[in-house]
Every structure is written in structure tokens, then in C-alpha cells.
Amino acid sequence: MTAGRGKRGGPGFGRNWWLEAYILLSLYKRGAAHGYELLDRLARYGIRWPGQGSVGIVYKQLRDMEARGLVLSNWELGGKGPPRRIYNITPYGVSYLEDIVQILKGHLVTISEFIRDFEERRR
């Protein structure tokens, strides 16, 4: 299943699913943010890209997430510097994030069993 498929675009594990999951987690846990702030937050999770392309990757993902109803954006005007787009998680985005957590919990059991089986063979 690819990200954006299933129950009204429910979560899957297609390309960039992890980026989507961490963006949603960041917005859920720490509140609204603009793209560059999200890049900083992602770096705290250990997610970094070399070079200038990282900004484009995150903004492309945010546009896709907004089109699917996971996030909403508004322009922040009047602050220091040029206007910037601020992203918030939607109620649907929270529900989607809850689904991701449930999927990951299921995989956690499977991964633990995989590691245990591998380590048993090595003994």
C-alpha cells in the first residue's frame, strides 16, 4: 500500500511515508510551523538531506499533504521578513497520525520477533 491510499487516503508505507509521519508528529506535538522550522524539527529527529534540495522535498510533501486534507496552511503576514506559509495539522491529520502509530505498533512486534529469531540462531 502506498501513502495516501486506503481509508480516505489512510496511511501506508509508500515513498516518503516516514517524512509525512514525522511532519504530522511535529505539528501535533509542537504546533504550527513554516517549512524551514519544520526542517529544523526534522533534523532533531535525525532526518537531514544534504544540499539545497531539502527545502523543496519538504514543501512538495506539505503541498501533497494539504491536498489530501492532512494539513492546512495560512499566510503569516506582517512579521519580520517576507510573508510565509504556516502549516497546521487538521483533525483528519491527527486521525491519520493515530493510524500510523497503530501500524507502527504492529510492526514493532514483528520487528522484535524478527530480531529475536535472528539472535537465537546466532547462539
The packing angle between helices 17-30 and 35-44, to 10°, is 100
Mean pLDDT of 74-96: 92
Number of domains into which the chain is organized: 1
Determine, yes or no, domain membership for 2: no
Q: Read off the pTM.
A: 0.80
Enclosing domain of residue 86: 17-122
CA distance 13 to 5: 10
Determine, yes or no, domain membership for 5: no
Residue-wise pLDDT tens digits, 20-46: 999 999 999 999 999 889 999 999 988
pLDDT of 17 reads 87
Determine, yes or no, domain membership for 11: no
Determine, yes or no, domain membership for 65: yes
DSSP string, 28-49: HHH--EEHHHHHHHHHHTT---
Determine, yes or no, domain membership for 85: yes
